[in-house]
Amino acid sequence: MKPLTTLTPFALPILVGADGAPTYTTDSNPTAALDSGPVIGQTTTLPAAIAPVNKFLGIPYAAKPERFSRPKKPEPWTEPLNASDFGPSCPQLFVDNELTPGLDILKDFFGTGSEESEDCLFINAFAPTSPQPPEGRPVVLFIHGGGWQQGNGQIDLSGFAGYEDIVAFAFNYRTNVFGFPNSPDVPTEETNLGLYDQQIAIEWVQANARAFGGDPKKVTIWGESAGSMSVDIQVNAYGSKSPPPFRSAMMFSGQMSVGLLGSTANPDDTTNWDSLAATVGCNDTDDQLQCMRDVPEKDLVKAMSTAQVAFLPVTDNVTLPSGRAERWREGKNAKVPVLMGTIAEEGRALVNRNITMKTFLDAYLAEPLATKEQQEAILKVYREDPKLKNDFDVASAIYTDFFWQCVRLLANISASIDNPTWRFYFNTSITTLFGEKYTWMGKFHGSDVALLFSTPTFEGDAGGIPFTPQLYTFAKYLRGVAGQFIRNPEAGPGWPSVGSRYKPFDVVSLGGEGGLAGATVVDERVLDERCRLYEEIYPVIEKYVLSA
């Protein structure tokens, strides 16, 4: 989800040494000494912030990738690298079909609008300029979403550094065929390149956090949508490493262990790859993989769109373990505090407005996952809701519950193994920030991070888009919730943990009409009442879809 505005930078002469201790100078932009070489950034000031913020953008955390190959560490450099601008995004893919929103919505809300290149493995750092504690500041590493097909780390996290006293990072990773090339000529364990990119970025933060004043022992990994699914993957993948390279996790709208969101590509089914190869003329060559490597980047992206193919991670038992729900139950994942949340109307930005119920049910709730009787029972409940007036409303509501909210089972599993776990329900619409065109989207998927990353530098106007005073205050509150958890994850974000003595009042609703409320503790039995409709379906999915 792209932000609505950016923060205005100005130059303040700060020097950050290799040990992370700031040295104030009078004639230079901020610098940081990394394990690969020195970088020069810029400084931003924020109203009423704890301190100005040093920004280092477009830092290579890996070498320029070779297409369809694992990432490698960057080549070291000796001359200071200019880190004042974001690097290019990785190649982006938008596919339009009868299930998904139209391309105009996808590009308006999830498009990057930036230069694209395969040379895209860049990370961005944001750090307060004030003297750090001796042990270093807490750190957050954000993993962007995009359905494994698009997205980037061009996110200005200055607000987290300047207001929450945190060192913050965001980065790009490869997606679509560039990140998950399910080719018969690529070994299964070499297919999840985007996940390898994430792991090398996580390890880069461990090696370089101190150069920005951060403590590598106090890292929180945080993701939204596919980024949140990635966090679940990394929590599983690092389960055998003690300690893991992070101490806590935040998962906003997504996980990979329960329900259909955990679906992966079949490594033995190369249909999409074969279709793409045929589209670009590589299907009858002696060395198909090399032929695909030689196709110009833009031609390959265009061909994916023409062929209507998308590429997903595969369960390789290296980067992506199998039996992920069972691993959670058995405590084989990394045991770290977790903050999880979903949005009230996730599906309204993810379902085609012209969808029919037959198309929707055939795609997501067909037999053997759901019997005809189960389908009818589900439809009866939703159609009795007077707020749901047509097939799109019903399909969106089912999609919200079935894919996103009701997999709160993972929060319950996490809590059941004594993993400190907190859950929220984002219940605020921010569509007023987009004008009248998108009011129908309601409390849509990605609106929480859009608000978090778009807090204006002054009240009343965010790059020409007005924030109401209530929404502005709520945005600051929401950032504070995330900041509190990042600084002290064991203590939580400020409400009862899942499975605590307050159960069933162990989940909060964030916001409300116009963002008027902060956190309101609610009864999970009421909030999740419709989830009973799917209780018999999730085990079927786990057994037959996620068992690989």
Task: Determine the Cα–Cα distance for residues 421 and 413; give it in Å rounded to an integer.
Answer: 9
**Which pLDDT does position 28 carry in this prediction?**
58
Per-residue pLDDT of 19-51, as tens digits, reads: 333 322 323 599 999 999 999 999 999 988 999
Per-residue pLDDT of 281-336, as tens digits, reads: 999 889 999 999 999 999 999 999 999 999 999 999 999 999 999 999 999 999 99
Region of residue 48 (left: phi > 0; alpha: psi -120 to 50; beta: else): left
Degrees to nearest 5, angle at CA 102 with 3 and 279? 105
DSSP track, 317-379: SSSS-S-HHHHHHTT-S----EEEEEETTGGGGTS-TT--HHHHHHHHS-TTTS-HHHHHHHH
Q: Which residues contact 212 (CB under 8 A, 6 or more apart)?
A: 16, 20, 32, 54, 56, 125, 127, 167
**Which pLDDT does position 112 carry in this prediction?**
66
**Which pLDDT does position 4 carry in this prediction?**
43
User: Longest Cα pair distance anywhere in the chain, in angstroms?
Assistant: 73
Catalytic residue among 36, 89, 158, 225: 225
The predicted model scores a pTM of: 0.93
Whether the pLDDT of residue 393 is over 80: the answer is yes
| Average pLDDT of the residues in 232-256 | 96
Angle between helices 391-399 and 372-383 (to 10 degrees): 110
Confidence of residue 548 (pLDDT cuts 50, 70, 90): low
φ, ψ dihedrals at 11, nearest 5°: -90, 125
**Residue 225 appears among annotated catalytic residues:** yes
User: Could you tell me the domains of the chain?
Assistant: 14-263+318-544 (3.40.50.1820), 266-310 (no CATH)
- Residue among 123, 144, 332, 148 nearest 244 (CA): 332
